[in-house]
Structure 1
Amino acid sequence: MLIVSVVFIAAASPAININQYFTPTLFQEVKNNHGNRAEYRVKAWQRLIEDNQDRTELEKLKLVNDFFNKHIEFIDDIKHWHREDYWATPLETLATEGGDCEDFSIAKYFTLNALGISEDKIRMMYVKALEYNQAHMVVIYIPSPGEYPLVLDNINRDIVTANQRRDLKPVYSFNGQGLWVAKAQGLGNKVKQRKGFAPWVKLIKRIEQGQ
């Protein structure tokens, strides 16, 4: 279940270093805990990052969006993790072959960053999915200042500009650099950092621990 909160603590996003993150121990643990298919998915994720460093940014967007939309099944947190709200790491999402819209977005965001796309250009964005009348999360890519961002989503799997997604009402976006209150279909204004709890901070720590 997606719980929208504007309480946020900025924490720098750790880049996934393929030489340190993808170890024989990690693959063995995934295989032991989740089986051969899970190990295959995680190795496919490694190849995605290793083999596509020299692609254009637009090519990287499509590869990453298609990869996670293909390999992950949408499952609500209550059913999947037996928690009301849980932000899974990309490894947890791939190993268990499921996640909600937050998990899709988190996996795409960190994979794009691992492929060399600057954090300045990517954010996760909370939106309201008007057709479903519920909170939703997507990843946005900002080609350059002043341009409409591109939207990576697990509902509409085509990558289009935000102004073409009239089914989404932006609420706010964030990355490790801060929080922006959304305005119309644009990027909105950055707000001062607020003190409080954020699932983002816990997520960062788990990724840094190799989870």
Structure 2
Amino acid sequence: MTRTHWAAGTAIALALLFAGAATVASAGDGSSPAGRTPTGASADAGFARDMSVHHQQAVEMSFIVRERTRDEEVRTLAYDIANTQANQRGMMLGWLDLWGLPKVQADAEPMEWMSTGADGASGHGGHSGHLGPQAEDGALMAGMATKADMERLARLGGREAEILYLQLMIIHHNGGIAMAKGCVERCEVGVERDLAQGMVDAQASEVELMVDLLRKRGAQPRT
């Protein structure tokens, strides 16, 4: 195990511990309609599963770039993203545990819940425009970096690593924002919708910051 993976894993493990009490107090408070526990096919469960995977990669990318550059602006941004997303990931995995649902749904495609109703029924066609960007070749879901991108980031250093990280994270955030908007529209658990809306707001702000950081380095976001 590399030092990067160990650090990312440690951050996630700590987030799970600290999020436990808040998880039980919030997602189990009957804030879904009629106090109903979400089903495995629900938007609530789908979002929690998929966004946990999405966040895991953001944490990993952030720890990689912190080892590849000494630039304090990028290192601070990467730390904030890793810390925030590790904690949010811990909450979402805790909710799945609380609901008695698996963290991996083998028979479900990534982001499948975004084309269904809140209860998992298909045909929620009126929201098809919110599916967000499509997954790149070799990526698991929209916004996620490919294996080749991750390997390249781990090889680069200094300004080159900073630019690639910022470009990848802008794409990553935009994919995450599209997914979080899907939860705001479809999820039934109030605290989960609130968390999703918070992701939309925070990540949109971070995208603006990252675009500015790229411009300072004479670079632009990937199109």
Given the two structures, how large is their TM-score scaled by the length of structure 1?
0.25
Which structure is larger by alpha-carbon Rg, 1 or 2? Answer: 2
Which structure: greater helix fraction? Answer: 2
